[in-house]
Amino acid sequence: MTYCVGILVKDGMVMMADTRTNAGVDNISTYRKLRIFETGEGRCMAVASAGSLSVTQAAITKLQDAMILPGADERETLDNAPSMFRAAQLVGNALREAKTGIDAAIVDDKIATGASLLFGGSIAGRKPRLFLIYGSGNFIECQPDTPFLQIGEHKYGKPILDRSITYDTPIAEAVKVSLISFNSTMRSNLAVGLPIDVLTLLPGKSEPDLLHRIDTDDAYYRELDDRWSRALKAAQAAIPQPPYGENAEQGDLMEL
């Protein structure tokens, strides 16, 4: 029960996650899904999580300790990973170990333990990199031809990103489009909801440019919700009626 988006454009990186973990008629719970890692000077790393809370929490805990990756001899941490790619390998290993351990301890196979992570950041001022990490520990990296990644309840918000996000999209516009994507998702799915945590990271920086929580009283988000609804209704009204059925000309029907 969540929705997370990561966008990597020429101007930098955007990561965004909602906080809903449970949505019933009388039981709505929230939990922070976007976390910033304290990994030392010159490093900025963040992770957004979707899926089993027990698995993702265990993975985050493992990342706070040193690990030995398969084929390696020395323990490594996010503090000393030489690259974001190596850091993504550490995150993948932590997620895989966490899921494997919890799966082994669960007798009731009806309990879902699926989980996935968005992991992004920068080391030593290098250009930010963004990864989608699966429960088995493998991952893919965000690329300019498809400059966004999603996890969780992504299907309702994906068409917005598909139509609007390119590698050249300004980062402020990427934040706005992401919020529209969240707004569209929340309109169709009760499992996603406010607050929304937002992070932006610019090239050459070792600290987030923006770290902000959008809650129910956020004036900009309320205006975005209202304007987007009115814009959709106006666009719908401006499109001509379809040339089918009783209102269509006979020639139009024959062409169909």
Residue 6: its H or E element: strand 3-9
pLDDT, tens only, 64-122: 889 889 888 889 999 999 999 999 999 999 999 999 999 998 876 678 899 999 999 99
pLDDT, tens only, 120-161: 999 999 999 999 999 999 999 999 999 999 999 999 999 999
Distance CA 228, CA 219 (A): 14
Q: For residue 23, report the phi and psi dihedrals to the nearest 5 degrees.
A: -140, 95
- Fold classification of 3-238 is Glutamine Phosphoribosylpyrophosphate, subunit 1, domain 1 (3.60.20)
Helix (H/G/I), strand (E/B), else coil: 178: helix
Distance CA 117, CA 49 (A): 5
pLDDT, tens only, 34-68: 999 988 889 999 999 999 999 999 999 999 889 88
Average pLDDT, the chain: 92
Residue 255: its H or E element: helix 250-255
> 3-state SS string over 129-168?
EEEEECCCCCEEECECCECEEEEECCCCCHHHHHHHCCCC
Domain ranges of the chain: 3-238
> Per-residue pLDDT averaged across 170-178, rounded?
98
